[in-house]
Structure 1
Amino acid sequence: MTETSLQGRVAVVTGASRGIGYFLSRALAAEGVHVIAVARTVGGLEDLDDEIKAAGGSATLVPLDLTDYDGLDRLGAAIYERWGKLDMLVGNAGMLGGLSPLGHVDIKTWDKVMALNVTANWRLIRSLDPLLRQSDAGRAVFLTSSAAHKCKAFWGPYSASKAALEALVRTYAAETRSMGVCANLLNPGAMRTAMRAKAMPGEDPETLPHPAEVAPQIIRLLRPDFTDTGRLYDRPSDSFKDYEPLVV
């Protein structure tokens, strides 16, 4: 096995039943990764499993609402019992929460956005960090958005949640710098996803990149020989640039 090979490694991918998570899971499985696919939608997970198996790969399906925090703890325990480690974590699941002036945001909507986009990712780190440390090259990638920095009108809950996620991941990267775990953020930019369609209902989705196109760039950050940590990678177009290190 080479330093770039993913054969035999184990990955958790959230939001795996559709969009970026779906096509990333397929791409990882094609490289020999056993994918632990987490999502609420059972039908989408079953479709994913069928495609992975048809291509000769393997997956474990976990129908789970990520705001079931006790469920995330059970997930960590189950992974430890079966594999004793985790090589890759991809925090992809997220929600928009609707567009509204801050003063009009429903309290339940605010709480749901923060619960999924921020707290669920913290609980994933809390549950799976010990397993990532057991890997010879633990890697974690969380998907963010330019909304965290643009702070456009009416995008308050989503923007605030992604800014909090970025702070969370940067802190985790700082805490694990000397332990062989690398944690990074990736902004995929505008993609042909259900969330984008909800935010931009008048936009022609055919003008946007397909979610499968970002999978190779996420996989790049998950390879054992990729040792940068605490960085934000931006994919606003087909170019792929990295910002200055966020961890010093």
Structure 2
Amino acid sequence: MSQTVGSRLEGRIALVTGASRGIGAAVAKRFAAEGAHVILTARTVGGLEEVDDAIFKATGRNATLVPLNLQEFDKIDQLGYSVYQRFGKLDILVGNAGALETLGPVAQYDPKLWQRVMDVNVTANFRLIRSFDRLLRTSDAGRAIFVTSAAAGQPYPYWCPYAASKAALEMMVKTYAMEIAASPLRVNLIDPGVVNSKLRTQAFPGEDPKSLTQPEQVTGRFVDLAETACTQHGEIVAAQ
């Protein structure tokens, strides 16, 4: 895993969801530093603008900002069409946005919160695949990366919605990878591990964030999976 910044993504078009903070913002900045033009989506306009400012300061180039609520699924289709009109292809898709909401027993969980977790962690990524599959295939070396969690493979009390959503995400992405195995498109999942993020703070509010791995420290593995030289496919890759 390389953390050295170079030009490994020069000229590539990359879309990153959940890009206004945390891992998404760090990946966006790293991809831009590696030469990619990044399309950034998130609900928070101010956060997107801050990331864009940082990218411009570091590279002299602006990102493309798309304020987007991933639960508005039809807008994902509209985004796909907009990317097609402007760029004609997509080289890299990073499905990073995730929702935890609250922890609690299955029998007492709020159905609205359950639905939001499933919408963001599973259905939005399905809609991204559906909307961008053809554009990724148009690339000479399309790459799709989806962020998962160790929670998908091991039940923990009170974590059911999040864990179930990540397990569903893994099954969906692995199935998709099998279906497109004959194409140049390479699709993988990445488990960033324990990283300082808003989601981590929600789950463990008393934890010292300085004691955790910082988002910038896991971006190397994202670059590994995004570059044209990547041969991994249908795998769950650990970032740490």
Hey, what's the Cα distance between the residues in 1 that align with 2:79 and 2:159?
32
Hey, what's the Cα distance between the residues in 1 that align with 2:208 and 2:180?
42
Hey, what's the Cα distance between the residues in 2 that align with 1:162 and 1:14?
16
2:53 maps to 50
1:122 maps to 126
In the alignment, residue 229 of structure 2 is paired with which amino acid? Answer: D
2:40 maps to 37
Specify which of 158, 161, 164 is matched with residue 165 of structure 2: 161
In the alignment, residue 45 of structure 1 is paired with which amino acid? Answer: L
Query: In the alignment, is residue 8 of structure 1 matched against residue 11 of structure 2?
Result: yes
Specify which of 206, 210, 216 is matched with residue 206 of structure 1: 210
Specify which of 177, 191, 197 is matched with residue 201 of structure 2: 197
Query: 1:88 touches 1:138 (CA, 8 Å); kept in 2?
Result: yes
Gaps of 5+ in 1: 239-248
Specify which of 28, 45, 49 is matched with residue 25 of structure 1: 28
Query: 1:37 touches 1:45 (CA, 8 Å); kept in 2?
Result: yes
In the alignment, residue 128 of structure 1 is paired with which amino acid? Answer: F
Hey, what's the Cα distance between the residues in 2 that align with 1:215 and 1:155?
26
Specify which of 147, 153, 156 is matched with residue 151 of structure 2: 147
Query: In the alignment, is residue 109 of structure 1 matched against residue 117 of structure 2?
Result: no
Hey, what's the Cα distance between the residues in 2 that align with 1:17 and 1:87?
21
Hey, what's the Cα distance between the residues in 1 that align with 2:204 and 2:87?
42
Gaps of 5+ in 2: 1-6
Hey, what's the Cα distance between the residues in 2 that align with 1:214 and 1:230?
20
Hey, what's the Cα distance between the residues in 2 that align with 1:83 and 1:194?
32
Query: 1:184 touches 1:232 (CA, 8 Å); kept in 2?
Result: yes
Query: 1:33 touches 1:58 (CA, 8 Å); kept in 2?
Result: no
Query: 1:12 touches 1:90 (CA, 8 Å); kept in 2?
Result: yes
* Backbone CA RMSD of aligned residues: 1.0
Deviations 1:186-212 (A, max 9, x none): 111110111101101121111101111
1:131 maps to 135
In the alignment, residue 155 of structure 1 is paired with which amino acid? Answer: W
What TM-score do the two structures reach when normalised by structure 1? Answer: 0.92
Question: C-alpha displacement at 1:50, in angstroms?
Answer: 0.8
Query: 1:15 touches 1:38 (CA, 8 Å); kept in 2?
Result: yes
Hey, what's the Cα distance between the residues in 1 that align with 2:15 and 2:168?
21
What TM-score do the two structures reach when normalised by structure 2? Answer: 0.95
Hey, what's the Cα distance between the residues in 2 that align with 1:29 and 1:203?
31
Hey, what's the Cα distance between the residues in 1 that align with 2:210 and 2:85?
44
In the alignment, residue 26 of structure 1 is paired with which amino acid? Answer: K
Hey, what's the Cα distance between the residues in 1 that align with 2:231 and 2:141?
9
Secondary structure, aligned partner of 1:190: coil
Secondary structure, aligned partner of 2:63: strand
